[in-house]
């Protein structure tokens, strides 16, 4: 490994530490990162620390309230709510984390390429993007899942595709702010290929926008994933999932609110944590999210 490569990696690591330090110094960033970190750690360690098997049903404890035996009570099948809540974020975090990375990768790359190329191709693709954005995403998602089937192999690419479409607009708008600068003109004058300009010149200069966009897309994708599970098109029972838990307990809210409250609080706290982290990240990177929004 060359000294130049080592120096670049060290500088990137130092920059990352500085960004994290800036985020933690802000109350919103500290709270947001703490909530996100808590849920990630819980998803990893929960299989080893949960008090019960999430599939075990107790007919003698159906819809029992919080007690010393079941701290958050039980659901309509007698399953421990604390156990299912602790495990409920695993699938959501797994699917949406991978989906967000894919969405940012393809949407960001396409948007940067369009911003560089311009012309009729950019106009054509952006009109297609506008057409997709004009149609409610939930209809497309339900249609695809209904036809193709359930499972992570379907959910991940489907969510990544639909949530990558708005990223195309954002990255293309950010590229327009960069592509007119002198060093891009100089790179073109040197005869560098478009892919070289994208990788070496454009992507590093729109990466901050893409990072903030990734955080926002992650939170929205979590809501979408939970909505699909709530409607019966996400993960399948008896998997421990917050959306499934809310769907199964909504009929008993009047006399067993704890069965709904636990997964709602868990999902809400994770989404709030991601949004707070995204705001702190934008401030740390000096990004005005309202100003960066594409028209």
* pLDDT tens for each residue of 84-109: 999 999 999 999 999 999 999 999 99
Most confident of the ranges 25-29, 174-178, 230-234, 252-256: 25-29
Question: Is the per-residue pLDDT at 7 higher than 80?
Answer: no
- Any residues with CB less than 8 A from the CB of 215 and at least 6 apart, and which? 274, 275, 277, 278, 281
What is the gyration radius of the CA atoms in the chain, in angstroms?
A: 22
Q: Give the burial class of 74: count Cβ atoms within 10 A of its Cβ; 0-12 exposed, 13-18 middle, 19 or more buried.
A: buried
| C-alpha to C-alpha distance for 142 and 234, rounded to whole angstroms | 10
**Do 222 and 273 form a contact (C-beta atoms < 8 A)?**
no
* Residue 209 included in any domain: yes
pLDDT tens, position by position, 114-166: 988 888 888 899 999 988 888 777 787 788 877 887 788 888 998 999 899 99
* Residue 9 included in any domain: no
Give the confidence band of 31 by pLDDT, cuts at 50, 70, 90.
very high
Report the candidate in 83, 113, 142 with the shortest Cα–Cα distance to residue 203: 113
Taking the model in full, what pTM does it have?
0.88
**pLDDT number for residue 95:** 93
Residue 74, domain extent: 14-292
Phi, psi for 121 (deg, rounded to 5): -65, -45
- Number of independent structural domains in the chain: 1
* Residue 110 included in any domain: yes
* Residue 129 included in any domain: yes
**Do 121 and 114 form a contact (C-beta atoms < 8 A)?**
yes
CATH number at residue 251: 1.10.3720.10
Cβ atoms within 10 Å, residue 87: 19
Give the confidence band of 9 by pLDDT, cuts at 50, 70, 90.
low
* Residue 4 included in any domain: no
* Residue 231 included in any domain: yes
**pLDDT number for residue 19:** 85
Question: Is the per-residue pLDDT at 184 higher than 60?
Answer: yes
| Mean pLDDT value across the chain | 85
* Residue 6 included in any domain: no
Give the confidence band of 250 by pLDDT, cuts at 50, 70, 90.
confident
**Secondary element (H or E) of residue 11:** helix 3-25
**Do 216 and 210 form a contact (C-beta atoms < 8 A)?**
no
CA-angle at 292, arms to 288 and 295, nearest 5°: 145
* Residue 118 included in any domain: yes
Residue 210: DSSP 8-state: H
**Do 106 and 164 form a contact (C-beta atoms < 8 A)?**
yes
Residues found in the chain: 295
Task: Map tokens 């891009």 to a residue.
Answer: 184
| C-alpha to C-alpha distance for 245 and 251, rounded to whole angstroms | 11
Q: Helix (H, G, I), strand (E, B), or coil: what is residue 43?
A: helix
Q: How many CA atoms lie within 13 A of 104 on its CB side?
A: 21
| C-alpha to C-alpha distance for 266 and 275, rounded to whole angstroms | 14
The pLDDT of 257-279, averaged and rounded, is: 93
Question: Is the per-residue pLDDT at 4 higher than 60?
Answer: no
pLDDT tens, position by position, 194-211: 788 888 888 888 888 899
């Amino acid at each position: 490994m060359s000294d130049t490569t080592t120096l670049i990696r060290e500088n990137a690591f130092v920059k990352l530490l500085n960004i994290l330090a800036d985020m933690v110094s802000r109350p919103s960033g500290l709270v947001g990162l703490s909530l996100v970190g808590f849920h990630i750690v819980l998803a990893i360690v929960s299989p080893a620390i949960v008090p019960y098997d999430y599939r075990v049903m107790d007919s003698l404890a159906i819809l029992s309230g919080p007690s010393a035996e079941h701290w958050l009570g039980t659901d309509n099948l007698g399953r421990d709510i604390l156990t299912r809540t602790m495990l409920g974020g695993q699938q959501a975090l797994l699917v949406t984390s991978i989906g967000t990375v894919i969405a940012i990768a393809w949407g960001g790359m396409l948007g940067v390429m369009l911003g560089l190329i311009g012309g009729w191709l950019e106009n054509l693709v952006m009109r297609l993007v506008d057409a997709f954005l004009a149609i409610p995403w939930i209809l497309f998602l339900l249609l695809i899942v209904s036809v193709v089937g359930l499972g992570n192999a379907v959910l991940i690419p489907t969510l990544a595709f639909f949530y990558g479409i708005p990223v195309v607009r954002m990255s293309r708008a950010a590229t327009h702010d960069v592509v007119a600068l002198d060093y891009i003109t100089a790179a073109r004058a040197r005869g560098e290929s478009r892919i070289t300009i994208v990788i070496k010149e454009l992507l590093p200069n729109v990466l901050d926008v893409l990072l903030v966009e990734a955080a926002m897309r992650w939170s929205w994708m979590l809501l979408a994933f939970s909505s699909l599970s709530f409607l019966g098109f996400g993960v399948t029972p008896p998997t421990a999932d917050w959306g499934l838990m809310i769907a199964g307990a909504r009929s008993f809210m009047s006399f067993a609110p704890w069965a709904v409250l636990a997964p709602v609080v868990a999902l809400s706290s994770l989404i709030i944590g991601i949004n707070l982290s995204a705001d702190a990240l934008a401030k740390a990177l000096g990004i005005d999210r309202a100003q960066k929004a594409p028209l």
